[in-house]
Structure 1
Amino acid sequence: MELAPFQSRTVQVASEVLKANGPRRFLVADEVGLGKTLIARSIAQQLQKGSRRLNVMYLCPSLEIAGQNRPKFISLTGIDPEKYDPGGDRLALVPGWLPEEGNGFRVFTFTPETSLPGWKPGPRTGRKAERELILSALERFPALLSAVKQLDRERAAGGRLLLSDRGDLKGFNAIGVERAMRDIFDCQSGSIEKSVLGWLEGDGVDVVEFIGRFRSVLALAALRLKTVKPDLVVLDEFHRYADLIVPKADTPNVRLKQERARIHRLLVEALLGGDERPAVLLLSATPYRLRRLGGDEIHEVDHYRSLIALAGFLADDEGCRVAVEQAMRDYHCALKTTGTRDAIRASVLGAKERLEVLLRPLMARTERALVHKEDLFERDNPQVSVETQDLVVFKHFAESAGPEFAGWAPAMWTSIPYPAQTMHGYKIWKSLQAARPAPIEAGSGKGSLAHPQLRHLAKLVGDPAYLSLPWQPPTVAWWRLEGPWSDKRSVPGKTLLFSRWRGAPTAISALLSINLSGGLRKPKAKAPVPLLRPGGSETGALVGLFMPWPNLPLAIEPQKSRGTTLASVRADARRQLEAYLRGRRIRLDGTEKRPTWIVAAGIEREINRRTYQRVSSLAAKASRGAKAKKWSGLPKINRVSPAEVTALSDHLLSSPGSILARCLVRHDVPQDRPRDRQRTFTFSWERMRPYLGHRAFAELIQSSSKKKRYPDALADAMLKGGFEAVLDEQMCLLSRLGDAEGLGIVEQLSESLLDRPGLVQFRRGRTNHRVPVQAVTPFAGGEQSREGKKGGKRLRSDTLRRAFNSPFWPHMLCTTSIGQEGLDFHLWCSRIVHWDLPGDPVDFEQREGRIARYGSLAVRRSLAREHGVQSLAAARSTSPFGELISLARRVDSDHTGLERWWLPAEGRPTSVSFDWRFSHRAARRDHMLNDLLYYRLALGQPDPEAFVTMLRRLGADETGARELAIDLSAISRVSETRGQAVLHEAG
């Protein structure tokens, strides 16, 4: 993807620092959503130039972020992501299973919690494979091995950890492991075996402590290997595990804790230091709120002290740290200056310029607020009112909670709808189960919801008819859409909801899903049978509906012009097909009326026998076991009737398989090899067909069509809902705005279709139910995959993220702070709902930054209004949405590049927060929103509260605020000479 000017300048500035002699550390602190990961990838490319190989070690705080961003770094290797071998995902496993190398890059991806043993408090015994390596390493020390096994046998609970299996120490060397043992167990001379045996006799030592210690041995030995030692370390969202770079100052007065702290320092030195220290690139939008892995903040109150600590680490120089601390004191004092406005301004300007000179060689931060004068969002603050039924639910909940939880009852009830039915997993649940059922319960799928916010949310996100939409409408419609997608009715669009209580996402998802399905199913009732199932004599027609025919779909290029009717599109498609058939000597004067799929198969066989064999082999696998005609025995057809031509043109225009076939050609997805064709057909038959066969879609689709059979009504809906434009747009987003290429596009499409619903617990009366959720789903973080060398199934959370970033289900994603940092949810969503107010403006920024990102839906809609007509006119056999992207990129932007792809010219995304009548929450929200523009500037400041207070004293307008804000953006820099001189003097 082509970088914007501000990104290119950041890459240049950071690369110069990381290539130079010295500490080689730099922080990119760009505002949320400005593409820090892409900047990091480009920096890696700059550092690799001139070297044989660059080991890139990418560390991030969670598996969700790793799953999202890993492909961006893997793309450096030039290896097909489907074929790429990522190697081991723990440091101890990497020497024997190195990531695949390509284009001079080797990419390691870890989370500190799992790969730096003992980093997070609590027992960390690692994976079975790591423990097997420990047994292998101990074979050189029989007495130690015997003692450790005895400790393992004496373990009271949880079963044995060290069994008889041995691991393969391939990649390690005995000298390196022993050296690491001596360092970890602090034994520089004498017998290491005797030293460790003595350590085992100490207080508090058990087999769990030993395993954690020896995992550190293997990790340290691995980091010292030339094959593993990183050349570039990327610490993404590092503020969430900042103790990696800012160790605790206090030394615990407990022997084991002192040892662990020393080991942590050894691991950090091996990772980030050494004689040939790696370049270190830090990424974080909120770098002044440093947190340890345990979750507590390093500087809970004075965040500016985090900046001082950061500067000391980045410069690796005490003199620089002292200079920054003094400059910060001066800045802090300047913010509190009294006197005239001119005196205050002069004092702040002087202090901020001195601070900029010191910090610019160490970090860069770009902010939209520096170039954008308005709020980034449209603010919708609907007023909600409490009704009698709401109070009935609350009264029952408060009485059932008991005295222990009485004080929490109002806060729980306002956030978690129907708490007596939905608060599974909370400590209060035992009390709720023991109490009588609530006099008002949800679950019937009828009637008004007994929760003020939930009633408004149900109207906001759409009725069951909307939630039954199988896909969102395209940004640029190729013709006038009809039915549920019609421009005459408002389609609500996707919604991202944030709450503070973890029970709210599951409760909201369950309640809206129950309404969608018309009520709870009986506990033992079977799920509705899906549609579009193969079997019987209709299997051939069904396979034909999803078959990406190799030739016939390309006979038609759908007409594209805003306002064009479907009747015109169909008529034009027929004319194109007739011309195509005549050109291949197919006569059009027949009298028969055969099934359309048989006509299509016969003509394909007549046109090209070789390509038809591909079709028949794919169809044979799909039709296996069904009472259907054999495709290999179907005859050639060189004569068709006018009725067959009409039916065939409609089929080619509207069948999912034919639509997919045209999109594959537009986006250069190869179909030459049998493996290519198989993967494409697998996506169409095994992913699209089951998804489109959901019963929830049937009522809506059939009610808007005159066709009685669901497959025919579905084909009708493909045209009415602009499915081909939607698929074309999504493929563009994956390829031209993303990293997917070739069959990788098909693979990512496949991963964006939810194959089965999630299940949420829900209680009614005395019975617990499991509610299927798919249109509205909770996002609760990363469930672990199964163990194994190649890993297990993909994480459910990663699947949900991909699905939400597609035009398909879910239409609404409900989450907590789990989804607040580092994840993208912007491709098809332009509305965020603050179910509960965030704790402070930093959290506000993080939440809203999930959808205010590069190429977001709001941005694309703005571009479509500007270039949509022109892009449709320019697209013949090419991708219309690709033309839109090309047109937008050819238009000149200003010097930053932010305006076109990050800031919509019109049609801003929407941010919703609720106003409870007569509630203090309304006043708190008003206060926060009134200050939000100031805070957007202040978020880039190390002391945001003092900065905002100063702005209020001055009564500064937005222009004045921008002038006084610290500007660390790379694109605004003219010269670094002065800054380097100041740093030199500070040293």
Structure 2
Amino acid sequence: MGTSVGGAKGAQVMSRTRAGERPDPNAVLDGLKGFQRDTVEYAFERLYTAPDSTRRFLVADEVGLGKTLVARGVIAKAIDHLWDGDHKVDRIDIVYICSNEQIARQNVRRLQIGNSRFVPAGRLGLLPREIRDLKANRINYIALTPGTSFDLKSSMGRWEERVLLYHLVQRLWPDRRKGPINLFQGRKNRDSFRKELKDFKRSGHLDASLAETFKRRLQDEGEGLQKRYVDLCYRFRRFRKRVPWRDRKAQMGFVGQLRSMLAEVCVEALEPDVVVLDEFQRFKSLMGGKGTTGKLAKSLFTYSDKTSDVRLLLLSATPYRMYTLHHESAEDDHYRDFLRTVEFLDPELKESGDLRGLLDDYRQAMYRIESGTEQLVGIKGKIETQLRRVMSRTERLRVSTESDGMLREVPCAGVELTAGDVQDFLALEQIGREVNQPRVLEYWKSAPYLLSFMDDYQLKKRVVAELDVSPDNGLEKLLTGGGRVSLSWEEVEAYEQLDPANARLRSLLAWMESGEAWRLLWLPAALPYYAETDPWKTARKQQFSKRLIFSTWQVVPKAVAGVVSYDVERRIFPRFDDSIRNTPEERKKRRPLLRFAYSQEREGLTGMPVLAILYPSPSLAELGDPVPVPEGGATLEDAVAQARERLEPLLDELTEPYRDAAREDESWYWVAPILLDLEKHEASTREWFDRWDLPSQWAGAEKDDDAESRWADHVSKAKQLVDDGIDALARDSRGLGRPPADLADALATRAVAGPATSALRALTRASGPETRTALGARDAAARIAWSFRKLFNLPEATALIRGERPRDDKTPYWRQVVDYCAAGNLQAVLDEYIHTLRDLEGLFADDDEEAWKRLAEAVSAALSLRTGAPRVDEFQRADDTVRIERHRMRNHFAMRFGAQESDDGRAGAREGQVRQAFNSPFWPFVLASTSVGQEGLDFHAYCHAVMHWNLPSNPVDLEQREGRVHRYKGHAVRKNVAATHGTEVLGGGSEDVWHALFEAARAGSSDGRGLVPYWLFPVADGAHIERHVPALPLSWDASQLQALKRSLAVYRMVFGQPRQDDLVAFLLERVSPERRREIEPLLRIDLSARPAEHATDVAPEPRPSHSE
């Protein structure tokens, strides 16, 4: 689940006022799908109401099935249980722990019940600032991240924590000299830290009772701690820019100890009732209860007071290593990890040894499977009984009638090995032998131009080291003797076509070319509102989807992103200008065309028509909506004609006094929409413009990349029109001329598909057309439009759009942009994207203003993704030696997952923003990654194709990879739902098209468990979850894939066993395929929750707002 809490890292508190009404759990439960409701009811029963209830329970549902929503349901029932009666708790504290702040910010909102709000707390050590708010609220939600809230001993923490500690310590050991200030200052700026100390003292944000508890805790430590404090205050009596390491180490140890002590006090003050551990396998060190970190976590996990005992709800699709091979390290051993997890959930199992005995009996019986399965089935049932006490797991195929779960294996076309590829291997092998790194086969199979793209590989390090020692040795001839082991930058600068030099990459480029993907700035909408033309039409025929590539080698993501993005560039730029060169100097010449400048020649601002396409006009949004679609479908011309027919009478009235003017005036392109809004929506339009900070509100956090921008002046001119009316323009030296002949056509096209207009409609589909005039909606649409401007100003986008027209075409670029948006069905694209984002961002119960703001932030982040530019090396002949030249190769169409390096020296995009962009319809269309550390991350929004560049070693990892794109309302599901119900919904007049689509699909489903239509919606000849394995013919990969597929069906029968691969191999060897298919359902461990009595129907499609 996949996209941070509290500004930095750590914690936030979300609270509901004590005066609020009792939350209705059914408001949450009724929105769950059937299988989710089953899990909620069962987990709650095990945690609270069963005679043999447990304090800890694990929800291990398969990846992508909505574990966070299950947790939300459990919390809703827990709050209701603790609200009154025998179990009443005066203050209910819900603690949410996850691995990073990005996931925390996303998921805490998904967990909230009722009309909740956030109160920033920072991290566990900052809770004293918020404890009064906690006490004032009946329900509190606190999000923590382990790295900042539990790992305290040797860290100085954040300056906010040290400000708090300074004032707490002063209560017991008052000392107003400089020593304590310098001691707690850390690396914070001196003047800034002193100001923060004074501001905190004035604010008074410190709970007196907690401060007193901490004071007693300091006293309990005895004189030793005080002596250390006095000694350190003396050492730090003077401010020093450079603190000796001995003093710094002592300072860090002392502050770390105080942070640890304060955290313990905070746990007591927190009074946790429910602790949710999300993807807890990432921080299993907390489960051991050893050391400072473990003890602090244990105090949280075992909290108990007079009224209640804390309950732990653990969430993870992979709570333990699901499958290991015998040669893998003991630390990763499946059997040990499994037992550790189960025994943490139920310590009594460790004491009794019952589970270990059952697993041993099961393994022995499995080796006797040829004599029958009766004993195995009996033991399996006992194992399930033991495990169900503390866990449940739902799997797609177990609750679905679809045997394949929509998965299809798609043959990879174009995986061709050439003579040049073989020559490259021979050259690389010789180089490897020369530097004593002869094993190069897997490298060569995986990536081209290896020495250019490798970073931390011994092969390249040895080559570089040998060249440094003796640049004229025999290695020089091997490096430049014909094998393609390094890029030729001369070819790159000339935008020449590079040979992929790799069979797998050749296949990927063939896929990209066949769908004309390089001509797209966004994917085709799953449900276009009018007939498409190329290139979107071609892409749709191919069922085009983004592609997620997994490799086991770090060099692959870098090579794939570099070569694929280069290939897109070399297609785009020469199409517009065949003399263009790929150099930094040439790129600097490509200035943005959507600019806000001042022309001395014209004596005026030049960018007002650009401002117009960024202006969110409610009138244009109303007049140009392409929905509903007439029966029989529509073309773009039909949609524009309909908008023009609505616009012309209004424009005629506006322009009538100016029709006979001598001069044609392009000002009408921006004047007319504002005047229409003043006629139809005067009050809200004046309110929107009448703000001193409108330029910054409009642009959001984004700054104009053009240093000479006159953006504020352009906004002022528009405000002048609103303030003074059309007379303000009449006072111009030339006056206002006659309207252009194509004014109605230009505004009609913009009304149908302009960036700002489309964004305004998309944002308000869920809240209704009456909200289009709201300040928040217009602000959000304006920010999205500003981000579109940034997209269209990229050199690649500019060349692509202009390259679609004859080179002598004089149409202004802003008009070309609107035409491109119209051809690309931008309204349909944004309607689908905003609907999908509401689910990704967890916007279930937010008010409209907050939802619009967060949606605009997410869309802007995706559109504003900075081009990555990792370093690549060229091994270049120089006289009789080889010189290594360093260059940068841009990544945009394809990117590697992770932090990016920028080509302009500024910080590149962060990992989270790369994921946001991939989960959008915009570039990148290819994301290449290793599969390390991606549990819980979503990549499904616009991708249903996984490419296994290198196969994983076991079947579980294969499933985990594909689970990244098989999630709630994924791309394949949306395509199929749209194909089935699109015509019916578009003709039905529904304002919120995507809500209506899923309602229609739900109504037509007979699946009472809720997987259809949200996770599964198969359609003949429709979209599927695609598995691509670009295996070379007769290679190990082809046979390995078949082995993985065979063991995939067997490994669940050897659940919880040591040496799983041995047992799988035994079953594959001794049991026929027919017999395996027969016994697999009988022997597969089933931990699914029992169906709940209340969960008989599929829950309706939730409305994104006003749902609580």
Please give the TM-score of this superposition, normalised by the length of structure 1: 0.83
Amino acid across the alignment from 2:125: A
Q: Whole-Å Cα distance in 1 between the matches of residues 100 and 996 of structure 2?
A: 37
Alpha-carbon distance in 1 for matches of 2:145, 2:227? 34
Q: Kindly indicate whether the alpha-carbon contact (under 8 Å) linking 1:315 and 1:362 is maintained by their aligned counterparts in 2.
A: yes
Q: 2:754 aligns with which of 652, 655, 677?
A: 655
Superposed displacement of residue 763, structure 1: 2.1
Instruction: After superposition, give the CA deviation of every residue in 1:433-475 in whole Å (9 maximum; x if it has no partner).
Output: 4545655443514231222222222222448962352211111
Q: More deviation in 724-733 or 51-60?
A: 51-60
Distance in structure 2 (CA, Å) of the matches to 1:471 and 1:938? 45
Bigger Cα displacement from structure 2, 912-921 vs 429-438: 429-438
Q: How does 1:484-563 map to 2 (within 5 A)?
A: 484-487=535-538, 490=542, 492-518=544-570, 521-523=582-584, 526-527=587-588, 528-536=590-598, 537-558=605-626, 560=629, 563=633
- Structure 2 unmatched runs, 5+: 1-27, 84-88, 236-245, 468-475, 574-580, 599-604, 699-710, 728-735, 877-883, 902-906, 1095-1108
Contact 1:92–1:222 (CA under 8 A) maintained in structure 2: yes
- CA RMSD in angstroms comes to 4.4
Alpha-carbon spacing, 1:422–1:839, altered in 2? closer, same or farther (3 Å) = same
Find the counterpart in structure 1 of residue 57 from structure 2.
26
2:1039, 2:188 → 1: CA distance? 52
Correspondence for 1:853: 967
1:576 — aligned with what?
Answer: 646
Q: Which residue of 2 aligns with 1:897?
A: 1010
Give the letter aligned to residue 766 of structure 2: H
2:318 is aligned to 286
Distance 1:919 1:912, change over 3 A: same
User: Structure 1 stretch 959-968 or stretch 124-133: which is displaced more?
Assistant: 124-133
| 1:505–1:778 CA contact under 8 A, matched in 2 | yes
Task: Output one character per residue of 1:770-819: Cα deviation in whole Å (capped at 9) or x when no partner.
Answer: 33322211112699xxxxxxxxx998222121111111121111222245
| Conserved? CA contact 1:64–1:823, under 8 Å | no
Whole-angstrom CA distance in 2 between matches of 1:464 and 1:870: 28
Question: 1:663 is matched by which residue type in structure 2?
Answer: A
Q: Which residue of 1 is the match for residue 532 of structure 2?
A: 481
Paired residues of 2:764 and 2:777 also in contact (CA < 8 A): no
Distance 2:1015 2:656 in 1: 54
In the TM superposition, residue 508 of structure 1 has moved relative to its aligned partner by: 1.8
Check 1:830–1:405 CA distance in 2 against 1; reply closer, same or farther (3 A cut): farther
Partner of 1:232, secondary structure, is strand
Match of 1:716 among 806, 819, 822: 819
Q: Secondary structure at the match of 2:120?
A: coil
Structure 2 match to 1:250: none
Select between 478-487 and 6-15 the one with higher mean Cα deviation.
Answer: 478-487
Once the two structures are superposed, the pairs formed by residues 693-712 of structure 1 within 5 Å of their partners are 693-704=793-804, 708-712=811-815
Q: CA offsets, 1:848-891, max 9 Å, x none? A: 11101111111111212221111111235x02222102212323
Q: Hey, what does 1:61 align to over in structure 2?
A: 99
Structure 1 residues 658-706: Cα deviation after superposition (integer angstroms, max 9, x where no partner) = 2223333423274555455334323322x12112322212333334457
C-alpha separation in 2, matches of 1:663 and 1:904:
25
1:774 aligns with 2:892: yes
Q: Distance in 2 between matches of 1:571 and 1:174?
A: 70
Task: Label 1:32 to 1:405 Cα distance change in 2 as closer, same or farther (>3 A).
Answer: farther
Equivalents in 1 of 2:217, 2:1013: separation in Å?
52
Q: Give the corresponding residue for 2:732.
A: none
| 1:747-779 Cα deviation digits (max 9, x unpaired) | 332233224222311223433223332221111
Task: Tell me if structure 2 keeps the 8 A contact 1:86–1:98.
Answer: no
Q: Using the TM superposition, give the Cα deviation of residue 238 of structure 1 relative to its aligned residue in structure 2, in angstroms.
A: 1.4
Map of 1:254 onto structure 2: none
2:42 paired residue number: 13
| Aligned 8 A contact 1:777 1:810 in 2 | yes
User: Within 5 A, what are the aligned runs for 1:663-812?
Assistant: 663-668=762-767, 670=771, 674=775, 677-685=778-786, 687-704=787-804, 708-735=811-838, 739-740=842-843, 741=846, 742=848, 743=852, 744-764=854-874, 765=876, 766-780=884-898, 796-812=910-926
Contact 1:28–1:36 at 8 Å: present in 2 too?
Answer: yes
1:29–1:365 CA contact under 8 A, matched in 2: yes
How far apart in 2 are the matches of 1:638 and 1:100?
61
Cα contact 2:416–2:507 (8 A) shared by 1: no
Could you say which residue in structure 1 is the equivalent of 2:636? 566
- After superposition, the C-alpha distances for 1:602-629 in whole angstroms (9 at most, x for unaligned) are 3333445434435655898474345978
SS of corresponding position for 2:889? strand
Q: 1:560 to 1:52 in 2, by over 3 A?
A: farther
Sort the Cα spacing of 1:500 and 1:43 in 2 relative to 1 into closer, same or farther, 3 A: same
Q: What SS does the corresponding residue of 1:510 show, helix, strand or coil?
A: helix
1:570–1:126: structure 2 CA closer, same or farther, 3 Å change rule?
A: same
- Aligned partners of 1:158 and 1:673: how far apart in 2? 42
Query: Alignment partner of 2:927: what SS?
Result: strand
Asked if structure 2 preserves the Cα contact closer than 8 Å seen for 1:132 and 1:165, the reply is no
Q: Which residue of 1 aligns with 2:240?
A: none
Q: Is the 8 A contact 2:946 2:1026 kept in 1?
A: yes
SS at match of 2:1007: coil
CA drift of 1:13 comes to 0.9
- What secondary structure is seen at the aligned counterpart in 2 of 1:894? coil
User: Given residue 392 of structure 2, which amino acid in structure 1 is its aligned partner?
Assistant: A
Choose from 97, 101, 109 the match for 1:71. 109
Q: After superposition, where does 1:94-133 map in structure 2 within 5 Å?
A: 94-97=127-130, 104-117=138-151, 124-131=155-162
Is residue 2:1031 matched to residue 1:915?
Answer: yes
Contact 1:29 1:286 in 2 (8 A): yes
Residue matched to 2:1040: 924
Contact 1:231/1:279 (8 A) holds in 2: yes
Q: Please point out which of 216, 219, 223 is paired with 2:263.
A: 219
Report the CA distance between 1:725 and its aligned residue. 0.4
Say if 1:672 and 1:724 are closer, same or farther in 2 by CA, change over 3 A: closer
1:177 and 2:290 correspond: no
Aligned residue for 2:272, secondary structure, equals: coil
1:223-262 alignment to 2 at 5 Å? 223-225=267-269, 228-246=270-288, 261-262=290-291
Does the 8 A contact of 1:384 with 1:453 survive in 2? yes
Residues 497, 814 of structure 1: 8 Å contact kept? yes
- More deviation, 317-326/505-514: 317-326
Amino acid at match of 1:474: A
CA contact (8 A) 2:1005 2:1012 kept: no
SS of structure 2 residue aligned to 1:453: helix
Aligned: 1:454 with 2:572: no
1:327 is aligned, of 349, 358, 366, to 358
Q: Amino acid of the residue matched to residue 121 of structure 2?
A: G
Secondary structure of the equivalent of 1:923? helix
After superposition, the Cα gap between the structure-2 partners of 1:830 and 1:338, relative to the gap in structure 1 and judged at 3 Å, is closer
Superposition pairs of residues 37-52 of structure 1, within 5 angstroms: 37-49=68-80, 50=83
1:712 to partner: Cα distance: 1.6
Aligned CA distance change for structure 1 residues 245 and 781 (closer, same or farther; 3 Å): farther
Structure 1 pair 957/197, CA: closer, same or farther in 2 (3 Å)? farther
SS state of the match for residue 511, structure 1?
helix
Q: 1:326 to 1:106 in 2, by over 3 A?
A: same
Q: Percent identity?
A: 27
Q: What's the counterpart of residue 624 of structure 1? A: 712
Secondary structure of the 1:457 match is helix
Task: Give unmatched runs, 5+ long, in structure 1.
Answer: 248-260, 784-792, 976-987
Amino acid at match of 2:802: Q
**Offset of 1:351 from its aligned partner?**
0.7
Could you tell me which amino acid in structure 1 is paired with residue 1089 of structure 2?
A: A
2:993 maps to amino acid: P
Matched residues in 1 for 2:556 and 2:387: separation?
Answer: 42
Structure 2 Cα separation of the partners of residues 643 and 264 of structure 1: 70
Count of aligned residue pairs for this structure pair:
923
Distance in structure 1 (CA, Å) of the matches to 2:637 and 2:174: 85
